Amino acid sequence: MSLTVTKLKQLTVVEDSAEALGSTYKGRKCGTFGDYGILSFNGNKIITTSGGGAMVVPSKEKKEKTVFLAIQARDNAPHYQHSEVGYNYRMSNISAGIGRGQMQVLDEHISLRREMHQFYSKLFNQIPGVTLLSEPNSDFYSNHWLSAILIDPKKSGGITREDLRLAFEEENIESRPLWKPMHLQPLYQEYPFYGTGVCERLFENGLCLPSGSNLTDSDRSRIEEVVDKLFK
Ligand SMILES: *Cc1c(COP(=O)(O)O)cnc(C)c1O
């Protein structure tokens, strides 16, 4: 089965920009690269409405259609009437109100998350085998919503990401492996998979670090102590 370029051209690209609000590539905001973009305001994201998100749409016309489908596709009639299948995807007024307030702290949250990333950059700078995932060059500006590292045990003197995760856990500090690839999920084990092992390696060696906007100096000291003790 092969997809020709002509067929690909008919696809609508929905950009998953769930984590990326405030990040840019060559000055252009993430969420504006696809035909449509989606942003998540889930509780763990850079700003939150407790749940839900937003769509970035290419025109006023597309916006109207999107909202129409999200509010049950009601025809313009005094009674409830539907000529199309719709969805109950609208955000409640209460959540939207929280979101408007959250927009005012977006820049502050980005700078706090970027400071956390700087902290990890200094912390892991001299430690062999540990790579902090960072902006590849100045074209990229990341909100650093989440700081994550890769640990190569061949270069770290045998220390694995699981060693670090458990050392954190011992001190009641939460960290988490990178996302388990879809094809390794029990749900999909019956299905064919095409790939070269990159995602398996990231899952094996990757660790998401405490990255919240509300971490204090004393939290950072505790993190630093665990890392120093394990690697030195
Ligand atoms: C959080 C996240 C989602 C899901 O967003 P929800 O608002 O929780 O549905 C999807 N994709 C990525 C990359 C995410 O980080």
Cα 18 to ligand 1 centroid, rounded to whole Å: 5
Cα 155 to ligand 1 centroid, rounded to whole Å: 33
Average the pLDDT over 62-91 and give the result. Answer: 95
Ligand 1 pocket at CB < 6 A: 16, 18-19, 40, 42, 53
| Rounded Cα–Cα distance for residues 137 and 130 (Å) | 19
> 140, 133 in Cβ contact below 8 A?
no
The predicted pLDDT at position 232 comes to: 83
Nearest to 65 by CA among 29, 41, 89: 89
Tokens of 9: 């051209």
Report strand pairing: 28-29 vs 148-151. unpaired
CATH 3.90.870.10 fits 11-103, yes or no: no
| Rounded Cα–Cα distance for residues 7 and 194 (Å) | 20
* Torsion angles phi and psi, residue 71, rounded to 5: -110, 45
User: Model's pTM, two decimal places?
Assistant: 0.89
Encode pLDDT of 101-146 as tens digits: 999 999 999 999 999 999 999 999 989 999 999 999 999 999 999 9
Identify the sign of the CA torsion 162, 168, 172, 175: negative
Residues in the chain: 232
| Rounded Cα–Cα distance for residues 179 and 172 (Å) | 21
User: At 32, is the pLDDT very low, low, confident or very high (cuts 50, 70, 90)?
Assistant: very high
Cα 32 to ligand 1 centroid, rounded to whole Å: 17
Report strand pairing: 14-16 vs 36-40. parallel
The predicted pLDDT at position 3 comes to: 54
User: At 9, is the pLDDT very low, low, confident or very high (cuts 50, 70, 90)?
Assistant: confident
Tokens 């609208």 found at: 90
As annotated, the residues of the chain forming the CATH 3.40.640.10 domain(s) are: 11-103
As annotated, the residues of the chain forming the CATH 3.90.1150.10 domain(s) are: 106-231
Encode pLDDT of 38-65 as tens digits: 999 999 999 999 999 999 999 999 999 9
Cα 31 to ligand 1 centroid, rounded to whole Å: 13
Say if residue 6's pLDDT is above 70.
Answer: no
> 167, 230 in Cβ contact below 8 A?
yes
Q: Which atom of ligand 1 is nearest to the CA of 45?
A: 1
Say if residue 1's pLDDT is above 70.
Answer: no
| Rounded Cα–Cα distance for residues 51 and 59 (Å) | 25
The predicted pLDDT at position 200 comes to: 96
Encode pLDDT of 148-200 as tens digits: 999 999 999 999 999 999 999 999 999 999 999 999 999 999 999 999 999 99
Cα→Cα distances 155→70, 128, 152, 159, 227, Å: 51, 6, 6, 9, 16
| CATH code of the region 106-231 | 3.90.1150.10
The predicted pLDDT at position 4 comes to: 60
Helical residues (DSSP H) of 125-216, grouped into ranges = 161-170, 198-205
Say if residue 7's pLDDT is above 70.
Answer: no
